[in-house]
Amino acid sequence: MTESLNLAMQGILKSGDHVVTTSMEHNAVWRCLKHLEKEKGITITAVPCSPEGYLKVEKLAAALRPDTALIVLLHASNVTGTIMPVEQVGQLARQKNIPLLLDAAQTAGVYPIDMAAMHIDLLASTGHKGLLGPTGGVYINEKYAINPFKFGGTGGDSIRDDQPDNPPDRFEAGTLNLAGIAGLGAGVDYILNESIDKIRRHEMELTGYALDKLRDLASVTIYGPLDASKQVGVISFNLPGLKSEQVAYLLDTKYDIMVRAGLHCAPLAHRTTGTIDRGTVRVAAPKVRLPVMRRAHLPGFCRQANTGGKTIKGLPADLGDGKRRPAGATAGDHESAGGLTGQW
């Protein structure tokens, strides 16, 4: 995913170009753009979204300039789950003759994507989420001249001293990740057999159930659209008096439920939602049906964990301050995860 985004952005942007993106982007997009700002002198406009993660297309339109060379947009937020108006942005991009790069990490394999109808010129996706495979890839509209950032053997046209012009050889120097490609193919076969619509309905059912149960708890703050039809299967929430890492620790040690806590590699989104200082607890609906279903555990835990700021026995007080984290927790960005059992 990250390599795909880098290939697209580094391959199409030139010195002095202007890029329009949003305030909900993942670091996979934002850090690459900031690198290019430093190295190539590009300029960046991040269009502000609402605290729920919604993007107004008219705001994005107002940010476009004569030197705008690329629009970069995530399809859905990995923090709030909010689905972006890709088709409307694509229509705008086509009218202005500006290529659109879509980050489909949260939607590929789960949400219908029509490249033509949405006017998508470049699309990057991971494989280990909705596509159910170990690795992802990138789609490139051949009308755009994308420069490779890797050079070497391609297995063909070996007489040439320079990199071949024809895709995909132009972008595939070196030995490919054959195991990853095979795994991705198996995931895609499953998805095509099940159908995107069936998988999306399953995700909406689980997301709607979790939202309903969490919404019943007055003490829980939920972020995002709070509407399963307007978001993917990602829900972020917080509890009063507890750091997000503390909630993750309790869910792991007491309930065997895996969540992610912290900034989720998306500080822009957390600034937008107002959670940059504490992050959020994030749960996600599985893309396939699991044999063990434990729907009652998350809401039950939230009721018990509403401490009003009191210390919970056995909970490390410094969890979440970057100094200490439970065994097996993720070390990056003050984020932690626990073991997975069941649905959430």
Q: How far apart are CA 8 and CA 281, in angstroms?
A: 31
Structure tokens at 36: 């290019």
Q: What are phi and psi of 20, to 5 degrees?
A: -110, 130
Separation between Cα atoms, residue 275 and residue 284, nearest integer Å? 18
Residue with the two structure tokens 């199409």: 12
- Report residue 11 CA to chain centroid gap: 21
Query: Strand 122-125 relative to strand 68-74: parallel, antiparallel, unpaired?
Result: unpaired
Active-site residue numbers? Answer: 265
Q: How far apart are CA 234 and CA 213, in angstroms?
A: 15
Query: In whole angstroms, what separates CA 43 from the centre of its chain?
Result: 23
CA dihedral 92, 23, 103, 146 (to 10 degrees): 70
How many Å from the N-terminal Cα to the C-terminal Cα in the chain? Answer: 24
Per the CB < 8 A criterion, the answer to whether 322 and 245 are in contact is no
Half-sphere exposure of 63 (CA within 13 A, CB side): 26
* 93-130 per-residue burial string, b: 16 or more CB within 10 A, e: under 16: beeeebbbbbbbbbbbbbbebeeeebbbbbbbbbbbbb
